Amino acid sequence: MICRIWHGRTACTKADAYARFLEERAIPDYRSVRGNVSVAIMRRDEGAVSHFLTVTHWDSEASIRAFAGEDVLKAKYYAEDKEFLLEFEPQVQHYVVMAGTS
C-alpha cells in the first residue's frame, strides 16, 4: 500500500470554506478512483494561516496514476484551489506503508 501526502496553506479567513470545498469536491474525487483505500484531511491553524494535509492510501502506483496522471509525484490541483491556496506546492510525498492498524 502507498500513502500519498499533500500539503497546502490558506488564509484562516478562507479555511472553513476551503474545508467545505474539500469535503464536497476533492474527497468524492479521490473516492471515485478504483484503488483508493482511504482519504483523510487534516487542518492545523497557525496564526493567520491554516495548513491542510490530505493523506490518502492507495493499493498501487497504477491506481495513483489513474488519479494523478503519469507523474505520480506531481500534486493534483482543482480549478477552485486558486481561490483558496497561498501557493501551489509542485509535488506530494509517497510512503510505502510498512505496518498499520485497522
Is residue 43 in some structural domain?
Answer: yes
Per the listing, cell 510525498 goes with 93
Q: Provide the pLDDT confidence category of residue 100 given band limits of 50, 70 and 90.
A: confident
Q: 82: which residues sit within 8 A by CB, 6+ positions away?
A: none
**6-62 tens-digit pLDDT:** 999 999 999 999 999 999 999 999 999 999 999 999 999 999 999 999 999 999 999
Is residue 100 in some structural domain?
Answer: no
The CATH number for 26's domain is 3.30.70.100
Q: Provide the pLDDT confidence category of residue 102 given band limits of 50, 70 and 90.
A: low
Domain holding 38, by residue range, is: 2-88
Say how many domains are in the chain.
Answer: 1
**56-82 tens-digit pLDDT:** 999 999 999 999 999 999 999 999 999
Measure the CA angle with vertex 92, ends 87 and 93; round to 5°.
140
Q: Is the pLDDT of residue 101 over 60?
A: no
Q: How far apart are CA 102 and CA 95, in angstroms?
A: 18
